[in-house]
C-alpha cells in the first residue's frame, strides 16, 4: 500500500497534513513479497469502480464482447516485466492475453505475475506471425480491444532525415543497430490485428527520432506510424505526459502516442498529418495533480519519508523487509556524500571538513591549509588526484519536498543522475523504488512477485534479484500512469461502462 493513496479516517487529510496524528508509521509485510505499508489512523479511500467486465456479454472463448468483432482483451509487445500491463489488467480490469519479450528474466516475470497470459519469449521479427495467430485463435477471430507497444530506443538518431539520406548516399552512414527498427514489426502486428485502440510509449526524444523504414529510407517514427496506420482508419495523437501530474511520486516524462479507429471517436477527433502536440489531446487523460485547483505532485517525503532508516556502511537492510535494502558504498563515496547537503552535489563541497577552511575553487581537491582531501568525487592516476569527470547531477542528493528524480536502471549507483537519499547516506532502497515506481501501490489487489527469477549475480540470502528489481522498474512506464491512460480510453470508448 503506497502512502500517497491514504487519507485520515477522521479528517480526510493525508498523513503529513493530518492534525490528528503525526506519528503514524507502522509496517506489515507479506513473505518476501512487495508488501504493504499501513499508517494508522489512516485508511485507503477505495475507488468505487465497478469491474468493466461485469455488465458485458461473454463470448464462448471466455472474453467479453464489445461489438460484432471486438473482444475486451489487451496484448502487449516489448512487454518488459509486464509492469505496464499491471495498470491494464490489475488496474482497469482488461485481461492481457499475450505478451512478447526478448529478455528471459523479464519474460519469466510476466509468466509468474500473469499466469493467464501467453508469453512469446524471443525476437519479435521471428515471433510476430505466431503472436498474431495466437491472438486471433484465442479470441475466436475477434479483434482485441487494445494493443500496447514499448519499443526500445537505443541508438536512435534524432538527426534530420535529409542528413541521414545524405550519409546513406555517400556511404558514410554508420552500421545500424537493428533494435532501433523494432517498431517496424510492432506496426506489422498492429496492421494485422487492427485493435480498436493502440498505445505506443517511449522516451520523449522519440518525437524527433529518425529510423530506416521498411523501404530502407530514413523516416521520422511518428510520420511512419501515421503513414501506415491512417489508411486503416485510425486517428492518432501524440503528446508528452509528465507522470508526476498523475499521482506518480517521481519525475518521468514519456511520449505517449494513442490511436483509435472507432468511427465515433474518429469523427470527433479527426486524423491529422502532424499529430504530435506539446499540449495534451482529448485522447490523453486530464492530469490529477499539479495544476490550478489540483493537489500538488506527491513528494518524496509523502511517499517514503516514514520508512526505517538505512545506511550504506552500517545498516544495509531492514530485518523486517527484505526489499528495504541498499548497496554498500566504499569509504570514499561515503565521505563525499556524508558531507553533501540535501538537494546538493558533492562536486560543490568546497569547504574543508577538517580545518574548516572555506571557499576552495571548484577544481581544487585538497585543502589549501591542511592538505586534507576535500569531500569531492575524485580519482587518482599515477599518484595524482583530480575530480571525477561527470555531470553535476551525479553524486547529488534528492530533495524531500519534491517528487523523486527519474527512476532509471541505475538507481542503485550514486554516480548516476540524482540518486542520493535526501539525508541518509545511501541511495534509494528497493522498497522505495517499488513505491515510487507505483508497483507497490494500493490500487492493485495483489502483490507483484520477483521471487525465484534469476538475474545477475545471485545473493545467497535472497530468493530474488535486487538488480532485476531496479532494472525492470527503471525501464518501465509507471503502472499507475498506464492505469490513468487506459481508464481514460475506456471512458472515451463508452462501451465498457
CA 241 to chain CA mean position, Å? 12
pLDDT at 339 over 80: yes
Q: In whole angstroms, what is the distance from residue 476 CA to residue 488 CA?
A: 20
pLDDT at 168: 53
pLDDT per residue as tens digits for the range 436-470? 999 999 999 999 999 999 998 888 889 999 999 99
The full length of the chain comes to 497
Per-residue pLDDT band for 349 (boundaries 50, 70, 90) equals very high
| Torsion over CA: 63, 67, 72, 77 (sign) | positive
Q: In whole angstroms, what is the distance from residue 155 CA to residue 364 CA?
A: 36
pLDDT per residue as tens digits for the range 11-27? 444 443 333 333 333 33
Q: In whole angstroms, what is the distance from residue 408 CA to residue 309 CA?
A: 22
DSSP 328-372: PPPHHHHHHHHT--TT-BGGG--S-TTT------TT--B-TTT-P
What φ, ψ does residue 6 adopt, rounded to 5°? -95, 150
Q: Residue 146 in contact with residue 197, Cβ under 8 Å?
A: yes
Residue of 293 and 25 predicted with greater confidence: 293
Q: Residue 385 in contact with residue 373, Cβ under 8 Å?
A: yes
Mean pLDDT over 216-239 rounds to 96
The dihedral over CA atoms of 290, 291, 296, 299, expressed in degrees to the nearest 10, equals 10
DSSP 372-399: PBPSS-EEEETTEEEEPP--TTBTBB--
Mean pLDDT over 273-292 rounds to 96
pLDDT per residue as tens digits for the range 465-496? 999 999 999 999 999 999 999 999 999 999 98
pLDDT at 458: 81
CA distances from 64 to 14, 33, 53, 72, 257 (A): 38, 32, 7, 5, 26
pLDDT per residue as tens digits for the range 75-88? 999 999 999 999 99
Per-residue pLDDT band for 353 (boundaries 50, 70, 90) equals very high
Mean pLDDT over 209-237 rounds to 94
Pick the closest to residue 242 from 282, 291, 208 (CA basis).
Answer: 291
Mean pLDDT over 44-67 rounds to 57
Per-residue pLDDT band for 413 (boundaries 50, 70, 90) equals very high
Beta strand pairing status for 42-44 and 118-121?
unpaired
Q: Helix or strand or coil: residue 169?
A: helix
Radius of gyration, alpha carbons of the chain: 25
Residue with cell 587518482: 380
Q: Residue 248 in contact with residue 481, Cβ under 8 Å?
A: yes
Q: In whole angstroms, what is the distance from residue 48 CA to residue 2 CA?
A: 18
pLDDT per residue as tens digits for the range 393-411? 999 999 999 999 999 999 9
Per-residue pLDDT band for 180 (boundaries 50, 70, 90) equals confident
Residue of 216 and 28 predicted with greater confidence: 216
Grid coordinates representing 356 are: 574548516
Buried b vs exposed e over 2-16: b needs ≥16 C-beta within 10 Å?
Answer: bbbbbbbeeeeebbe
Residues paired with residue 325 on neighbouring β-strands, in sequence order: 317
CA within 13 Å, CB half, 196: 26
Our separate counts of H helices and E strands in the chain read 12, 17
Q: What single-letter DSSP state applies at residue 170? A: T
pLDDT at 215: 93
Q: In whole angstroms, what is the distance from residue 350 CA to residue 236 CA?
A: 52
Distance between the two ends of the chain, CA-based, in angstroms?
27
Per-residue pLDDT band for 167 (boundaries 50, 70, 90) equals low
pLDDT at 205: 81
pLDDT at 16: 38
pLDDT at 351 over 50: yes
pLDDT at 203 over 90: no
Beta strand pairing status for 26-28 and 197-202?
unpaired
Per-residue pLDDT band for 264 (boundaries 50, 70, 90) equals very high
Mean pLDDT over 83-110 rounds to 97
The dihedral over CA atoms of 55, 60, 62, 67, expressed in degrees to the nearest 10, equals -50
- Mean of the per-residue pLDDT values for the chain? 86
Residues 6 or more apart from 219 whose CB is under 8 A from it?
Answer: 161, 210, 211, 212, 213, 227
Q: Residue 248 in contact with residue 406, Cβ under 8 Å?
A: no
Please give the share of the chain, as a percent, with pLDDT higher than 70.
83
Amino acid at each position: 500500500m503506497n502512502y500517497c493513496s491514504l487519507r485520515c479516517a477522521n479528517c480526510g487529510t493525508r498523513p503529513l497534513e493530518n492534525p490528528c496524528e503525526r506519528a503514524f508509521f507502522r509496517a506489515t509485510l507479506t513473505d518476501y513479497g512487495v508488501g504493504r505499508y499501513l499508517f494508522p489512523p489512516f485508511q485507503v479511500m477505495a475507488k468505487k469502480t465497478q469491474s468493466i467486465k461485469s455488465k458485458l456479454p461473454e463470448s464462448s472463448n471466455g472474453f467479453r464482447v464489445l461489438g460484432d468483432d471486438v473482444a475486451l482483451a489487451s496484448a502487449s509487445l516489448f512487454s518488459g516485466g509486464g509492469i505496464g500491463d499491471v495498470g491494464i489488467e490489475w488496474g482497469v480490469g482488461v485481461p492481457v492475453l499475450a505478451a512478447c519479450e526478448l529478455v528471459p528474466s523479464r519474460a519469466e516475470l510476466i509468466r509468474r505475475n500473469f499466469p493467464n497470459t501467453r508469453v512469446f519469449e524471443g525476437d519479435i521479427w521471428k515471433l510476430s506471425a505466431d503472436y498474431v495467430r495466437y491472438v486471433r485463435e484465442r479470441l475466436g477471430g475477434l479483434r482485441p480491444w487494445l494493443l500496447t507497444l514499448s519499443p526500445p530506443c537505443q541508438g536512435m538518431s534524432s538527426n534530420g532525415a535529409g542528413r541521414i539520406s545524405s550519409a546513406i548516399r555517400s556511404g558514410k552512414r554508420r552500421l545500424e543497430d537493428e533494435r532501433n527498427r523494432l517498431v517496424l514489426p510492432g506496426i506489422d502486428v498492429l496492421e494485422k490485428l487492427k485493435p480498436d485502440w493502440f498505445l505506443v510509449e517511449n522516451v520523449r526524444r522519440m518525437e524527433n527520432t529518425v529510423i530506416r523504414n521498411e523501404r530502407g529510407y530514413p523516416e521520422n517514427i511518428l510520420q511512419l506510424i501515421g503513414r501506415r496506420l491512417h489508411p486503416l482508419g485510425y486517428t492518432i495523437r501524440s503528446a508528452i505526459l509528465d507522470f508526476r501530474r498523475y499521482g506518480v511520486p517521481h519525475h518521468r516524462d514519456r511520449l505517449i502516442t494513442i490511436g483509435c479507429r472507432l468511427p465515433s471517436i474518429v469523427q470527433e477527433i479527426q486524423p491529422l498529418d502532424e499529430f504530435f502536440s506539446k499540449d495534451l489531446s482529448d485522447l490523453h487523460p486530464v492530469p490529477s495533480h499539479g495544476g490550478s485547483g489540483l493537489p500538488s505532485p506527491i513528494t518524496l517525503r509523502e511517499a517514503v519519508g516514514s520508512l526505517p532508516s538505512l545506511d550504506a556502511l552500517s545498516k544495509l537492510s531492514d530485518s523486517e523487509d527484505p526489499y528495504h535494502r541498499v548497496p554498500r558504498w566504499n569509504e570514499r563515496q561515503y565521505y563525499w556524500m556524508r558531507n553533501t547537503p540535501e538537494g546538493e552535489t558533492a562536486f560543490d563541497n568546497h569547504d574543508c571538513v577538517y580545518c574548516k577552511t572555506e571557499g576552495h575553487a571548484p577544481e581544487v581537491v585538497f585543502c589549501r591549509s591542511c592538505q586534507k582531501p576535500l569531500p569531492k568525487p575524485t580519482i587518482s592516476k599515477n599518484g595524482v588526484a583530480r575530480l571525477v569527470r561527470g555531470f553535476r547531477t551525479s553524486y547529488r542528493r534528492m530533495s524531500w519536498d519534491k517528487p523523486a528524480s527519474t527512476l532509471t536502471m541505475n538507481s542503485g549507483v550514486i554516480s548516476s543522475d540524482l540518486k542520493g537519499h535526501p539525508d541518509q547516506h545511501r541511495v534509494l532502497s528497493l522498497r522505495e523504488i517499488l513505491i515510487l515506481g507505483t508497483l507497490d501501490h494500493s490500487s492493485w489487489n495483489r502483490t507483484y512477485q520477483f521471487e525465484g527469477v534469476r538475474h545477475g549475480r545471485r545473493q545467497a540470502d535472497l530468493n530474488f534479484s535486487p538488480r532485476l528489481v531496479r532494472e525492470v522498474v527503471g525501464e518501465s512506464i509507471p503502472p499507475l500512469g498506464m492505469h490513468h491512460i487506459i481508464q481514460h480510453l475506456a471512458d472515451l470508448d463508452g462501451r465498457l461502462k
